[in-house]
């Protein structure tokens, strides 16, 4: 068999060829992409496993699908027939955590929440916190340039990655970036690899920037509005106030109703949207007061400010439970568009109009401080595939975001599902430049083919 050489090169147990065992490595969480059948799965435990696997794949012209925990939702890790799946989820070492330099050096299988937990023992934190932070891996976060609730203040994953060790398609090991906060020697290959969705190289180590953890609990503002447009306009008012919120999340009425049906959150019949905001740091109370004033001026019916840590955690748990509540309504196509923050009201109006036009349910939550909306297209869970009206509505949402100066994805990635619309955002010449980079680093085109680019 073609995989015999691979089995012989790696230690026992690191190559899986049993079809039943391989099935667990063939897709991500919610992509609705039908996966193919791999020829094998390599469960890497060290960099040399990745090097050996990619050298073997290059010799045999076998496509490689890199993967972490598989928590993505755009088909970025969907297997194709005859491919080699390369899992780095077992590479879980935190090799260094330097409180003095405020950096961590980690392997790609480290869980996001675990790194943050270890950093806090030193008075630090790892800022990016995607919704799946308790299960997603740093490698996957890097592959998609993941965001999260705190990114309005601390930025997405790219802002926390100082350097990388990565393996190219032919097995060559490269190092990008540095341990310092500043540095401009050479092209910025670190930023190039962040968000490349496994199409240019496989990350085997990351040097990450840590931040000082706030010494006091954040101050939280919860505001209710009659309409989602009012809430979106309040978001822009808060952004213009320049108080620097550490969290700014918007939940629409449909999502709140799903949460209320599930957890009985005491939803007022007149509430059309809820805004959750937080401020951390020494000036948190003053910042929260300004954000509350913005909400009141924007027509909020209820504005509550709390310094209670338990109450804040409860409110954030409600926000983090939004997708679980929505999934109780049916099968879900979870989407991710981003627009300039000044265009948030128009984008929410567009989503509502598109949902009504196509007769579909589209609950929407947003990392509103970043202009990043997550419209979720709900359909009958007994259907074997995503129905045409759902795709039609999603396409209109994509085009509406682009028309408002936005982007197809703020943090989930392109994967398999959004490649169809890639040219509309990038344009012919920019897409050609992207493909030239892909060919330079992966001339055989074996790394995650059919994804992202």
Per-10-residue mean pLDDT, the chain, length 453: 87 94 90 89 98 97 97 92 98 98 98 98 96 94 93 94 98 97 94 97 98 93 97 95 92 97 94 96 92 97 92 87 94 94 96 96 96 96 92 96 95 88 93 96 97 89
Residue 108: which CATH number? 3.30.465.10
Give yes or no: residues 31 and 77 share one domain.
yes
Residue 313's pLDDT is: 87
Residue 286 in any domain: the answer is yes
Q: Residue 22 has which token pair?
A: 């391989």
Same domain, 199 and 243: no
320/256 same-domain check: yes
As a whole number of angstroms, the distance between CA 310 and CA 378 comes to: 32
Count of the separate structural domains present in the chain: 4
State the Cα angle at 337 between 238 and 258, rounded to 5°. Answer: 80
Regarding whether 150 and 72 lie in a shared domain, the answer is no
pLDDT recorded at residue 56? 97
Of the three residues 60, 87, 114, the one that is the final residue of a domain is 87
CA nearest to 207, candidates 180, 229, 240: 180
- Looking at the fold, whether 28 and 15 belong to one and the same domain comes out as yes
Instruction: For residues 357 and 269, state if they share a domain.
Output: no
Do the domain assignments include residue 17?
Answer: yes
Q: pLDDT value at position 2?
A: 78
In a domain, 444, yes or no: no
322 and 221 share a domain? yes
Q: Domain with 363 in it: what CATH number?
A: 3.30.70.2740
Asked whether residue 356 falls in the same domain as residue 320, the answer is no
Q: The tokens of 346 are what?
A: 């128009």
φ/ψ of residue 80, rounded to 5: -120, 160
φ/ψ of 271, rounded to 5, equals -80, 120
Give a yes or no: residue 130 inside a domain. Answer: yes
Residue 428 lies in a domain: no
- Residue 433, in any domain of the structure: no
Is residue 63 located within the same domain as residue 128? Answer: no
Print the domain residue range for 351. 330-415
Q: Which residues contact 99 (CB under 8 A, 6 or more apart)?
A: 122, 123, 124
Rounded Cα distance between 210 and 433, Å, is 33
- 429 in any annotated domain: no
Distance CA 352, CA 425 (A): 23
Confidence at residue 31, expressed as pLDDT on a 0 to 100 scale: 64
Residue 375: what pLDDT? 97
- Single out the residue of 183, 133, 164 nearest to residue 47, CA to CA: 164
Q: Read off the tokens for 125.
A: 């934190």
Of the three residues 174, 193, 212, the one that is the final residue of a domain is 212
Q: Which CATH number goes with the domain that contains 241?
A: 3.30.70.2190
pLDDT, residue 417, reads 84
One domain for residues 207 and 105: yes
Any domain includes 423:
no
User: 199 and 258: one domain?
Assistant: no
Same-domain pairing of 302 and 360: no
Q: Which of 212, 230, 249 is the last residue of a domain?
A: 212
């Amino acid at each position: 068999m073609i995989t015999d050489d691979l089995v012989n090169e790696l230690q026992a147990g690191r190559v899986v060829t049993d079809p039943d065992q391989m099935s667990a490595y063939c897709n991500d969480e919610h992509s609705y992409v039908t996966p193919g059948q791999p020829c094998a799965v390599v469960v890497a435990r060290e960099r040399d496993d990745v090097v050996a696997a990619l050298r073997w794949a290059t010799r045999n012209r076998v496509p490689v699908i890199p993967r972490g925990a598989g928590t993505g939702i755009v088909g970025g890790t969907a297997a194709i027939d005859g491919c080699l799946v390369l899992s780095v989820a077992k590479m879980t070492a935190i090799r260094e955590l330097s409180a003095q330099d405020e950096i961590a050096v980690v392997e790609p299988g480290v869980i996001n929440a675990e790194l943050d937990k270890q950093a806090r023992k030193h008075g630090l934190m790892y800022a990016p916190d995607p919704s799946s932070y308790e299960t997603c891996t740093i490698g996957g976060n890097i592959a998609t340039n993941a965001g999260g609730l705190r990114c309005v203040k601390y930025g997405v994953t790219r802002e926390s990655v100082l350097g990388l060790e990565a393996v190219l398609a032919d097995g060559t090991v490269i190092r990008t970036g540095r341990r310092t906060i500043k540095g401009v020697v050479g092209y910025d290959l670190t930023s190039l690899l962040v968000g490349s969705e496994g199409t240019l190289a496989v990350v085997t180590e990351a040097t990450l920037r840590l931040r000082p953890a706030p010494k006091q609990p954040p101050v939280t503002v919860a505001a209710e509005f009659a309409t989602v447009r009012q809430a979106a306009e309040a978001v822009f008012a808060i952004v213009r106030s320049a108080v620097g919120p550490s969290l700014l999340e918007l939940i629409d009425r449909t999502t709140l109703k799903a949460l209320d049906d599930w957890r009985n959150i005491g939803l007022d019949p007149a509430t059309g949207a809820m805004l959750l905001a937080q401020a951390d740091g020494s000036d948190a109370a003053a910042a929260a007061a300004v954000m509350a004033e913005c909400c009141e001026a924007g027509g909020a019916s209820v504005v509550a400010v709390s310094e209670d840590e338990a109450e804040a955690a409860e409110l954030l748990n409600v926000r983090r439970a939004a997708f679980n509540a929505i999934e109780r309504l049916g099968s879900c196509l979870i989407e991710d568009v981003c627009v300039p923050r000044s265009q948030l009201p128009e984008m929410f109006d567009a989503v509502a109009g598109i949902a009504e036009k196509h007769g579909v349910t589209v609950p929407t939550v947003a990392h509103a401080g970043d202009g990043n909306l997550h419209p979720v297209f709900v359909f009958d869970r007994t259907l074997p595939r995503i129905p045409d009206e759902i795709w039609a509505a999603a396409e209109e949402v994509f085009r509406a975001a682009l028309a408002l100066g936005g982007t197809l994805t703020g943090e989930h990635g392109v994967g398999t599902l959004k490649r169809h619309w890639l040219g509309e955002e990038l344009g012919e010449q920019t897409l050609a430049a992207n493909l030239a980079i892909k060919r330079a680093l992966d001339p055989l085109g074996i790394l995650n083919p059919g994804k992202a680019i």
